[in-house]
């Protein structure tokens, strides 16, 4: 009997799990799939990117978790490519590799003062409040306690999530699975004003209506539309007329703009058509200089030369994610993705045999969780098409019978180890009256995995 095609999926976020599911849900080609992740836990941005108070979205983990129970699928956690395993070793052990490790770093603003103390990346803050093991428990406690007014630069869903988490009353987040040190820091937060900064208008914002509306439903925080909310320019009129989601977003903003200010102690201030040009301060952030913009007929922002200062003592940069490279893999430094054709990795004009890509590292940080399913299915389709060629196994025939021989001495977390981590988190949550409490410390995660 011909042996199964051995596939390594690098990254256990939605793209990786959907790829594994697609590979094992077909009968044309016999496959075995190892899902490799540098963290002891699976699910990537579903665990460490989705806001903790969005319980329905985070429940996608339960669906993804079922993939780990499928015959022919293994989870190999706590294994990092480049640290525990080289790409060359990986390629020697598998017929095909699908890279699905995402885009985890933040994009820079490229303005003076960006690196002052008190200027932080939204990606790092999100990692902290979701309990990512790479972020120290006290990483942002001082930021939250010391800041009174912060600017969140960006008008996407991550910016909305950060704004909402910072603006919620303690009892509005106590039901979530955030680690205890995060609860403690948020209870002690001194932030009273959050300024959301968008360089274009309400019709060009990329947040979804559901997430946007949640800002107006907070117990102790009001929303104030400060500037730039006019949508009479041709680009905005066209966007509203052609896209129902844009029209809904604009309607929400316009309704807020008509509200009277109330006596609540916290405020979210929306600033549209404002482009950040400098972060002020000597030893730490003391203010944000923004330039008013105008939109052309294509909806692109252009500076007017008119500037003003928004008084803040903290800045949170939320202008997108970017991918990073793995040594030995082609990389497009302009788009921050791995170059590919329908998921087949290419080096210049040449396809790299046996190497594939899916998810954000394939197409950039766009779409919702469900977008990754279609994306992964496309990539898997190409892989299966290639595997039907008799030369496929010859060109990428594994020299090692299993990656296990290469990982001797590495503390690998398998599916059973993840199940023990899951049980430990649920037990911690139950003791605090919650469904789950995230374990953030890597040593604790590995200890729980050992059982």
Of 54-58, 151-155, 252-256, least confident by mean pLDDT is: 54-58
What is the pLDDT of the chain when averaged over all its residues?
93
The answer to whether residues 141 and 51 touch, using CB atoms and an 8 Å cutoff, is no
In a 13 Å sphere around the CA of 85, the CA atoms on its Cβ side amount to: 29
Q: How far apart are CA 397 and CA 436, in angstroms?
A: 43
Note the pLDDT tens digit of each residue in 269-299.
999 999 999 999 999 999 999 999 999 999 9
Note the pLDDT tens digit of each residue in 358-412.
999 999 888 888 889 999 999 999 999 999 887 776 555 555 557 888 999 999 9
Q: What percent of the chain has pLDDT over 90?
A: 84
Q: Which residue has the higher pLDDT, 341 or 102?
A: 341
Quote the pTM value: 0.93
Pick the CATH number of 5-104+323-413 from 3.90.1310.10, 3.40.50.300, 3.40.50.720, 3.40.1710.10: 3.40.50.720
Domain ranges for the chain: 5-104+323-413, 107-320
Q: How far apart are CA 211 and CA 249, in angstroms?
A: 10
Note the pLDDT tens digit of each residue in 3-48.
889 999 999 999 999 999 999 999 999 999 999 999 999 999 999 9
pLDDT confidence of residue 106: 83
Please list the residues that pair with 32 across neighbouring strands: 6
Q: How far apart are CA 82 and CA 78, in angstroms?
A: 12
pLDDT confidence of residue 2: 73
Please list the residues that pair with 6 across neighbouring strands: 32
Q: Which helix (H) or strand (E) holds 357?
A: strand 350-357
pLDDT confidence of residue 55: 82
**Domain covering 107-320 in this structure, CATH number:** 3.50.50.60
């Amino acid at each position: 009997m011909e042996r199964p095609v051995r596939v390594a999926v690098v990254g256990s976020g939605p793209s990786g799990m959907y790829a594994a599911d697609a590979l094992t849900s077909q009968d044309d080609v016999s496959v075995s799939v190892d899902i490799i992740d540098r963290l002891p836990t699976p699910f990537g941005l579903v665990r460490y990117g989705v806001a903790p108070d969005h319980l329905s979205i985070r429940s996608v983990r339960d669906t993804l978790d079922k993939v780990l129970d499928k015959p022919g699928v293994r989870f190999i956690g706590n294994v990092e490519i480049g640290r525990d395993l080289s790409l060359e070793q990986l390629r020697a052990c598998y017929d095909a590799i699908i890279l699905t490790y995402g885009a985890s770093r933040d994009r820079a603003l490229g303005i003076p003062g960006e690196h002052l103390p008190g200027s932080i990346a939204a990606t790092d803050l999100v990692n902290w409040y979701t309990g990512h093991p790479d972020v120290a428990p006290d990483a942002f406690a001082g930021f939250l306690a010391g800041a009174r007014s912060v600017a969140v630069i960006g008008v996407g869903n991550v910016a909305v999530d950060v704004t909402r988490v910072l603006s919620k009353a303690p009892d509005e987040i106590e039901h979530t699975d955030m680690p205890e040190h995060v609860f403690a820091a948020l209870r002690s937060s001194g932030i009273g004003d959050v300024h959301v900064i968008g360089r274009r208008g309400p019709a060009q914002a990329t947040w979804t209506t559901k997430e946007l509306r949640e800002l107006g439903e907070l117990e102790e925080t009001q929303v104030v539309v400060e500037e730039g909310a006019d949508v009479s320019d041709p680009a905005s009129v066209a966007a509203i007329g052609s896209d129902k989601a844009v029209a809904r977003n604009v309607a929400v903003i316009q309704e807020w703009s008509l509200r009277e200010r109330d006596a609540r102690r916290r405020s979210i201030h929306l600033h549209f058509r404002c482009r950040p040009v400098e972060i002020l301060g000597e030893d730490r952030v003391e203010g944000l200089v923004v330039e008013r913009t105008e939109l052309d007929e294509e909806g692109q922002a252009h500076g007017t030369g008119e500037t003003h200062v928004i008084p803040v003592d903290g800045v949170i940069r939320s202008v997108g994610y970017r991918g990073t490279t793995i040594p030995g893999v082609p990389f497009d430094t302009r788009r921050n993705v791995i170059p590919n054709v329908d998921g087949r990795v290419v080096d210049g004009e040449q396809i790299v045999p046996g190497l594939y890509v899916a998810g954000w590292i394939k197409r950039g940080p766009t779409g919702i969780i469900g977008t990754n399913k279609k994306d992964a299915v496309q990539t898997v389709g190409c892989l299966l098409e290639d595997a039907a060629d008799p030369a496929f196994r010859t060109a990428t025939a594994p020299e090692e019978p299993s990656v296990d021989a290469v990982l001797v001495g590495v503390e690998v977390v398998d599916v059973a180890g993840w199940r023990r981590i899951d049980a430990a988190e649920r037990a911690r949550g139950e003791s605090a009256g919650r469904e789950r409490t995230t374990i953030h410390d890597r040593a604790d995660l590995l200890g729980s995995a050992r059982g």
